[in-house]
Structure 1
């Protein structure tokens, strides 16, 4: 017969086990790092953004993709720092993405920082010389015509109803002085860029293909836009990985890698528990 002391002992043991499981939860480990790095993110953020909001959005993005919980902590914090420095919010609205990939050179999972379609537009608008900038996809049933030369021309009339498969994507920028610039990519052009991407088989290229196509043509148009060297440098943070929050961003195209499947695919292993970490240890590990 169970005694009161036995019952209390069992309850206490269960409570301790739950406490250990909570402490060893990878998401809680990441949260500890994020909390400790809050002041550093605050210093990097532009005035229009808030460190608490960035932290909440980053944690939501990380929890939604279990593979991010398996990535090296320094590269994950480095990617969040990149979003802070550029003033772009990860995940939810398509400003930028945190994409896990296997770094064959380092033999570990790292995080690739990718600027999204809306992020590219946001960076371009910061120049102060652009009245409007946008991109659209063209489908097989649309009416579409463009020509280059002395008198460039672009006409796009989207079909009503079923538009068919995507055939082109284009971007247009109107300048405050009255000029304009446009760029057109075929789906073949987009595919060539995708094939060169380390995240071509997963991440936003798989979940948001048309958005990535728009981003690709806008990025190509950047070289013709009246924007500062600083903004050009910010745009060059695309497709990069950091080894820590104070490290320089390196292009993933310079890294050996192995692509990882996206979390939606079957047969995925669940992330392993990380050891318990204190906020003090988090600060020391990331220096």
Structure 2
């Protein structure tokens, strides 16, 4: 469906603005019902935030309104706000090289993963951050152990880490150097040109958000922290149904030609086992609580769909 919707009136044609099209679609009872099912009494405020986001982002306004609503519904089902300033979840337009159009994508922020993890009630603490020069004091290649107890020497970012500790004492640490993170982004992100050099991304480390942007070029640090945390949780975390849904729908790291496989996204090479008492008991507890034995219908998020009058269908 084009963002230029034409309606026939006596005497000629009237072209609606993209924001007017979005407002019209959000007012449809079937659309509002889906948000009410996901958010209950909070649906009205969330729908207002969709219109505000769409109206304030010229790039997003070039996307199909129905597809944008479908992406926003994914955030609603996770009860995560889509305000860019909050950093929990984003709806970002990507250039579709095959169609020449812009397509919206739902992207989780690292704060969103932390929020979902804490809701599960299984995590004592969870964190992700940058590592500055001087803070990394030891890295055992054989065991994968990393020690981050050094003093910061400068503002130069040398890597990123993700860490969590469960209530039962189980701990995990994941560390990636800034060079490895740049290579990872080049390999898996559809938003980055294949001609981009790793040095161009490395130069963004430690710069924070630039120009209010998001994504690898808009906020490299946040994307790197999210990637560390997602890989760590995907492999070793206790995953609630909400967290499984978030990981499945977070497709910003899909390689050209399709979405990255679970094996490509999850790598245990840099994951550190932190010793704790009674490991057998804790490992079994993690396996049980992580959804290993969940029935198939519980592991796969329910599908929803939005159709507009032109026949466009959005599924996830």
Query: How many residue pairs end up in the alignment?
Result: 229
Structure 1 residue runs of 5 or longer lacking an equivalent are 1-19, 241-250, 257-280
Q: Tell me, yes or no, if structure 1 residue 39 matches structure 2 residue 50.
A: no
C-alpha spacing 1:129/1:173, structure 2 compared with 1 (3 Å): same
Correspondences of 1:107-256 after superposition (within 5 Å) = 107-140=100-133, 142-148=134-140, 152-157=145-150, 159=152, 163-195=154-186, 196-200=188-192, 203-222=214-233, 223-228=235-240, 231-239=243-251, 253-254=256-257
Q: Deviations over 1:152-178 (max 9, x none)?
A: 452245538xx3221110011011012
Between structure 1 and structure 2, the one with the greater Rg is 1
**Which of 43, 46, 53 is 1:51 aligned to?**
43
Q: CA deviation at 1:138?
A: 1.3
What TM-score results when the alignment is normalised by the length of structure 2? 0.63
> 8 Å contact 1:99–1:199 — kept in the other structure?
no
Counterparts of 1:205 and 1:168, CA distance in 2 = 15
CA contact (8 A) 1:138 1:167 kept: yes
Instruction: Rate the CA distance shift 1:167–1:206 in 2: closer, same or farther, 3 A.
Output: same
The change in CA–CA distance for 1:64 and 1:145 in structure 2 (over 3 A counts) is farther
Give how far 1:120 is off. Answer: 1.6
1:146 CA drift (Å): 4.0
Corresponding residue for residue 74 of structure 1: 66
Structure 1 contact 112–252 (Cα < 8 Å) conserved: no
Matched, 1:28 2:20: yes
Q: Whole-Å Cα distance in 2 between the matches of residues 146 and 75 of structure 1?
A: 47
Q: TM-score, normalised by structure 1?
A: 0.69
Q: Larger % of helix: which?
A: 1
Report the RMSD for the aligned CA atoms in angstroms. Answer: 3.1
Question: Following TM superposition, by how much is the alpha carbon of 1:219 offset from its aligned partner in structure 2, in angstroms?
Answer: 0.8
Matched-pair contact (CA < 8 Å) for 1:182–1:221: yes
The 10-residue stretch of structure 1 (184-193 or 60-69) with the greater mean CA deviation from structure 2: 60-69
Q: Which residue of 2 aligns with 1:89?
A: 81
- Residue 289 of structure 2 corresponds to which residue in structure 1? none
Q: 1:270 maps to what in 2?
A: none
In structure 1, how many angstroms separate the alpha carbons of the residues matched to 2:143 and 2:131?
Answer: 24
* Greater RCO (Cα-Cα under 8 Å, separation 6 or more): 1
Q: Secondary structure at the match of 1:144?
A: coil
